[in-house]
Amino acid sequence: MSRALNAPGWLIARPIAHRGLHDRAGGVPENTLAAAEAAAAAGYAIECDVQISADGEAMVFHDATLGRLTGTEGAVDATRAADLAALTVAGTAERIPTLTAFLTRVGGRVPVVVEIKSRFDGDRRLTRRTAEVVSGFTAPIALKSFDPGIVGTLAEIAPSVPRGIVAEASQDDPEYDRLTASQRIALSGLLHLDESRPDFLSWRVGDLPGPVPYLCRRLGQMPVMTWTVRNPEQRALAEAHADQMVFEGFRP
C-alpha cells in the first residue's frame, strides 16, 4: 500500500470472539452484555455488530429484523432505541444493548472490533453515529464493514480509528441482491481500495487461501483477520493464511 496503515498491534494480538463469547444454550446470547463480559473476562478481543434504531441510535445486534433473537416481529431500524432495549434476547434476561453500553461494559479490558451493518443503500446514519460513540472512548476499538462506502466515510470522519473491510470471494448472500455484477466483482477483488482505504482486511475463512488476502499481507503489509472459525480445519487455515481469527463455538 502506498499510504501508512493505522494498524496497531492490539488489532491482531488476541483471538477475537465472534459476537462476544456467547453460548446460547448456556444462557449467554450473542452480542449481549453477558457475551461481552465473558469474552473480556477470558482475555479475548471482541467482535460485535451494530444496527441503527428508528431514532438513530447504534444498537448492538446482528440481524436487520428482530424475530430470530427476540421472537418479536419488526425491523430494528423501525423500532426506537428504548423499545429495542426493553426486548429480551433468546429467552434470557439479556437485552439489546446500545453500543455505548457495550463498550462501557468492556471497559477497555480487551479490544473491540465493531462491524457496521449495511444495506448498500448509501445511508450513513449508522456510520456517523458509531463514529460519534467511539469518539467518546480511549479504549482499543476498530471499525469495519462489508460496505466500502462506509469504510471510506470512516476514513473521512474518524481517520484516527483503525478501519477494515470485510470481504469474501463470492457474494451469494441475499444482502448483496441490490448490487450489480460489476459491484460484486469490486467487492471480491477489493477494487475499491482508492475509495475505502482500509487499514485491515477481514476475510471469510472458507475462501482461504486466496490471492486477495495473500497480496494484502505480503505486498500491502495489511493485517488479515479471518471469519468465522468454528472447527480445527478452519483454525489450521487461519493459522496458515491469516494474522488472527474471529472464532465461535470453542475457546482457543
Q: For the segment 46-72, what is each residue's pLDDT rounded down to a tens digit?
A: 999 999 999 999 999 999 999 999 999
Which pLDDT band, with edges at 50, 70 and 90, does 242 fall under? very high
Q: Is position 250 within any domain?
A: no
Q: What is the pLDDT of residue 174?
A: 87
In this prediction the pTM is: 0.97
Q: What is the spatial distance between Cα 52 and Cα 67, in angstroms, rounded to a whole number? A: 16
Q: Is position 24 within any domain?
A: yes
> CATH code at 33?
3.20.20.190
Q: What is the pLDDT of residues 94-141, one digit of tens each?
A: 999 999 999 999 999 999 999 999 999 999 999 999 999 999 999 999
Q: What is the spatial distance between Cα 148 and Cα 201, in angstroms, rounded to a whole number? A: 12
Domain around 138: 11-244
Residue type, 22: H
Q: Is position 186 within any domain?
A: yes
Instruction: Say what percent of the chain tops pLDDT 70.
Output: 99
Phi, psi of 101, rounded to the nearest 5 degrees: -65, -40
Query: In the predicted model, what is the mean pLDDT of the chain?
Result: 97
Q: Is position 146 within any domain?
A: yes
Q: Is position 1 within any domain?
A: no
Cell numbers linked to 79:
423500532
Q: Is 218 buried (19+), middle (13-18) or exposed (0-12) by CB count in 10 A?
A: exposed
Task: Work out how many domains the chain is built from and give that number.
Answer: 1
Which pLDDT band, with edges at 50, 70 and 90, does 2 fall under? low
Q: Is position 2 within any domain?
A: no
Q: Is position 89 within any domain?
A: yes
Is 123 in contact with 117 (CB distance < 8 Å)? Answer: no
Is 78 in contact with 108 (CB distance < 8 Å)? Answer: no
Instruction: Indicate whether 1 pLDDT > 60.
Output: no
**DSSP designation for 75:** B
Q: Is position 234 within any domain?
A: yes
Instruction: Indicate whether 36 pLDDT > 70.
Output: yes
Q: What is the pLDDT of residues 176-203, one digit of tens each?
A: 999 999 999 999 999 999 999 999 999 9
Which pLDDT band, with edges at 50, 70 and 90, does 175 fall under? confident
**DSSP designation for 24:** G
